[in-house]
Amino acid sequence: MGFDFDRLISVVLDSIAPDLLKYDMIFLIGEAGAGKTTIMNILRGKGFNEEYNATDIGEVSRPFLSIDKGLKIIKVIDTSGSNLKSLPRWKEKDYTIRCFIFDTTQFYKGKKIDKKIRLGIKNTIKEVEYINYGYSEKKIIRFFQKLSKSKEYEDVVKCIAIGTRGNEVDSEDKEKIRKEVIKMGIKCKIFELKNNPKKELINFIFKGE
């Protein structure tokens, strides 16, 4: 068995006092089978795995290093799409990026957007807005700070949407889905996870590109 360098890094990072360690916490949320665990594994450098094992109650990954877009220390919260009872405790974590993950092949039910996906995206936006802005007075102040590009303005948490199984829908439908999600008020990009797009995921999650 070879030397596990990633595990060694994780153990070292885990041993550092949390208040001395600055890291990004990525919160993955979405329906069961959408690809949350696969995305976590790709980000951690473990690649794509065809075998599907449903996440039972969710987990927080060990911290790991990413050098794809500058040196970053990252943790990922992988939630269960089928066991929603555990979701509230994950929402209490101090995450910095919330990603709603959806299966593009399930985006439409007939001619309409799937209700669960639409609700999931809207809830993601609403909950992140509350974290960033809080009550109405603060929301108004921060809105104008953002509008004027004030240095005082900075989101505590940002949210994005990631579509999976991108190769299973044609290019026109893929672009249509992406635009539908953006119209809801959130950045979106669609990936084919079988291609192991680690750099592209990092680029989108942290740079929105």
pLDDT tens for each residue of 130-187: 888 776 656 666 666 666 665 555 667 899 999 999 999 999 999 999 999 999 999 9
Q: Which domain holds residue 181?
A: 5-207
The answer for 4, left when phi > 0, alpha when psi is -120 to 50, beta otherwise, is beta
Rounded average pLDDT over 6-12: 59
Count the Cβ atoms, other than its own, within 10 Å of residue 150: 12
The CATH number for 200's domain is 3.40.50.300
Can you tell me the distance from the alpha carbon of 10 to that of 192, in angstroms, rounded to the nearest whole number?
28
Q: What is d(CA 90, CA 87) in angstroms, rounded to the nearest whole number? A: 5
Decide if 187 contacts 208 (C-beta within 8 A): yes
CA atoms within 13 Å, Cβ hemisphere of 175: 2
Q: Phi-psi category of 171—alpha, beta or left, where left has phi over 0 and alpha has psi -120 to 50?
A: alpha
Measured in whole angstroms, the distance separating CA 2 from the mean position of its chain's CA atoms is: 31
Q: Please spell the DSSP secondary structure of 149-182, one letter per residue.
A: T-TT---SSEEEEEEE-GGGS-HHHHHHHHHHHH
Question: How far apart are alpha carbons 78 and 27 in whole angstroms?
Answer: 7
Of 36-40, 42-46, 125-129, 180-184, which has the strongest mean pLDDT?
180-184
Q: Count the domains in the chain.
A: 1
Helix pair 36-43, 198-207: axis angle to 10 deg: 100
